[in-house]
Amino acid sequence: MSDQTPSASGTPSPLDLLDHTVETLGGTRRDGQRTMAAAVADAISEERHLAVQAGTGTGKSMAYLVPSLAHAVDTGRRVVVSTATIALQRQLVNRDLPRVVDALSPELGRRPTFAILKGRNNYLCLHRTGGGAPSSGDGEDSLLDEAELTRTGAQVTRLRDWAQEILETGEGTGDRDSLPRGVSDQAWRQVSVTSRECVGSSRCPFGEQCFAEAARAEAAEADVVVTNHALLAIDAMADSSVLPMHDVAVIDEAHELEARITSVATAELTAASLAILAKRCAKVGPDGCADAVEEAADTWTAEIEAAVTAGTAPEGRWLQVPVQLQEPLIALRDALWGLRSKLQGGKGTVPTGAESAKDAEKTAELHHCISSCEELHDTVVRILDEDDSGDDSVFGEDVVWLGGDRSRRVVRVAPLSVADLLRTRLFGDSTVILTSATLALGGRFTAMLASWGLSASKCTTLDVGTPFEAGTHGILYMARHLDPPGRDAASPATMDELAQLINAAGGRTLGLFSSRRAAEAAAAEMRTLVPYDIMLQGEDTLGTLIDRFRAEPETCLFGTLSLWQGVDVPGPSLSLVVMDRIPFPRPDDPLMQARKEAADKAGRNGFMEVSATHAALLMAQGAGRLLRSVDDRGVVAVLDSRIATKRYGSFFLASMPPFWTTADGGKVRGALRRLRG
């Protein structure tokens, strides 16, 4: 479909629809937004993938929603929109889509429909609550202290009352986000199930009332379905579809896609998870069913501690399973599968119909135990098969490493790469539009395309820029004179530089630090050097801290990685963004190091492909916190001289907005004072 030509059904062109929507909603016409909308429409029409970098203020949500809704109405084929954050999901469903749909309905001939779909564990499970019946409680409850157990019990009771209220009134979705007052993750786990734990609507006595099934049914009829990257990952990894059928997928916040897919595909094995499983299974299964797992778990726990003490099971990455741990793992694998078989047969058979209705909670717990046995069994298999899992795993090669301490040893297993999974399971099944404010790292899309398993020939790329004038509204200050940061705490010269910048800005500073320890040390030091309140991530909820930072201009907010992305503080409260150092991955990060080594082994530059790309993405996101409206002005200060002195510094500079760049601290402090007025 040309961007200027109506469709065969008579629908106006995508640009006409966009212009009509912007005018109806009283918005501002933006060239970048129109360029993006035309490119999205063409990509959908021509069934080819598209990656679009659209800076803050472009209006990218409307640029992909308008052609997506037009395509769905015109063809009758569904579009899935996936986001990385709950905040953007809510914005799309509660604000953007209702407004765009209202504006487009007269032009499209009917009102497009939309729905939100989350993972099953985001919905209240009536089977686990027994339709609101009281809970006996078990499992990990035994690991909580009395006060925490009391709090959790009170929250579970409130959740069961909520379930009963919804059933009685017929009003409510059972979505955790719709709960009037939040509850702890511990409490929510007592009344929810994952997809693997669900007994299935046909076998569940509450199948016809199931909230998750109702959400899926609504999504199956919608033109546009909003979901998240985690569910997108589950859909890609599952043998059967989790998301409704669709021919177009829009991936917003696409810079997060690889990390979110990796997170979903990462599993772990701990003594606590084995102990909890054995206890739960013993309560719902045949007598003695969990004895073999308890014995194997005890042996495994003792052997891994002995191996760590002897130095034969090193902390960090395992290139192969330590010899003395192979037999305990094999015994654990076999015991878990044997327990699963015992739960499925004999006294552990999952009941149905009236029998299940009489004991819904026990039935749900039994199914949960069977699912947990399978998950832990599969995790052990992945650990044992690490060396040759490429033939069997949907991920290809896995990375296995040991972490934690004596109180909690944990063995994790994660995919070395998710590129093959994405290429075959996501990009092979539908047309995909990927967009973010940060995709062209080092000025090119190469790194992002590689992480998604795409080549330049398979995906069109486009940078539509931003309506903000970064070159005249923002300064990038490179503190070239400072010594390069070391492993120890920041130098006195660095702390002095930070204090001078904050004083010049009059507070109004977002401090982005590479570690929690660095943020805490800087906050402690600045509280003795500057007259402005220093708020520190972790001292209150993040939302509360950001709200106060936004409302009180003469304050500073310091924090670590979660502050580098997603903080939106337009106006005078934020005129200085400080990065303490280039945020390279930690040298002891097993997964990042394994990916770097794999790239080097393949003849590529592992440092640039993995370490520098990781850091550039964070720095680009961090720099994007500065200009959030057309009137914003300010400085991004990097207190790591390597950005100016090392050859790779140009890669980071090309990844960030095109600010005016200087190493003159006096000019920067003068500019900040002028901004104060």
pLDDT digits (tens, 9 = 90+) for 209-265: 999 999 999 999 999 999 999 999 988 888 778 899 999 999 999 999 999 999 999
Tallying the residues shown for the chain, one arrives at 677
Is 87's pLDDT higher than 60?
A: yes
pLDDT for 146:
55
pLDDT for 487:
81
In angstroms, the CA 534 to CA 523 distance is: 6
Burial of 464 (0-12, 13-18, 19+ CB in 10 A): buried
User: Which residue from 81, 93, 89, 107 is spatially nearest to 18, judged by alpha carbons?
Assistant: 107
Average pLDDT over residues 607-625: 96
pLDDT band at 206 (very low <50, low <70, confident <90, very high): confident
CATH superfamily for domain 14-113+222-260+419-465: P-loop containing nucleotide triphosphate hydrolases (3.40.50.300)
pLDDT for 202:
82
pLDDT for 539:
93
pLDDT band at 509 (very low <50, low <70, confident <90, very high): very high
Instruction: Given CATH 3.10.20.30, say whether it is the number of domain 470-676.
Output: no
**Torsions phi, psi of 589, nearest 5?**
-80, 105
Q: Residues 362-409: pLDDT tens digits? A: 776 788 899 899 999 999 999 998 655 444 555 679 999 999 887 889
CATH of 267-414, one of 3.30.70, 1.10.3470, 1.10.275, 1.20.1510: 1.10.275
DSSP 348-397: GPPP-HHHHHHTHHHHHHHHHHHHHHHHHHHHHHHHHTGGGGGGT-TT-S
Q: Residues 586-606: pLDDT tens digits? A: 988 999 999 999 999 999 999
Is 551's pLDDT higher than 70?
A: yes
670: tokens are: 């003068």
Place of tokens 């009509």: 20
Average pLDDT over residues 470-485: 96
pLDDT for 86:
82
Give the start-to-end residue ranges of the domains of the chain: 14-113+222-260+419-465, 120-210, 267-414, 470-676
Collect all residues with Cβ–Cβ distance below 8 Å to 182 and sequence separation of at least 6: none
Q: Residues 119-131: pLDDT tens digits? A: 898 999 988 887 6
Give all strands of the β-sheet with 49-54 in edge-to-edge order.
114-116, 224-228, 79-83, 248-251, 431-436, 49-54, 459-465
Q: Quote the DSSP letter at residue 483.
A: P
Rounded to the nearest integer, the mean pLDDT of the chain is 89
Average pLDDT over residues 146-153: 68
Is 36's pLDDT higher than 90?
A: yes
470-676 shares the fold of 14-113+222-260+419-465: yes
pLDDT for 151:
78
pTM of the model: 0.89
In angstroms, the CA 273 to CA 286 distance is: 20
Do the Cβ atoms of 501 and 537 come closer than 8 Å?
no
Burial of 315 (0-12, 13-18, 19+ CB in 10 A): middle
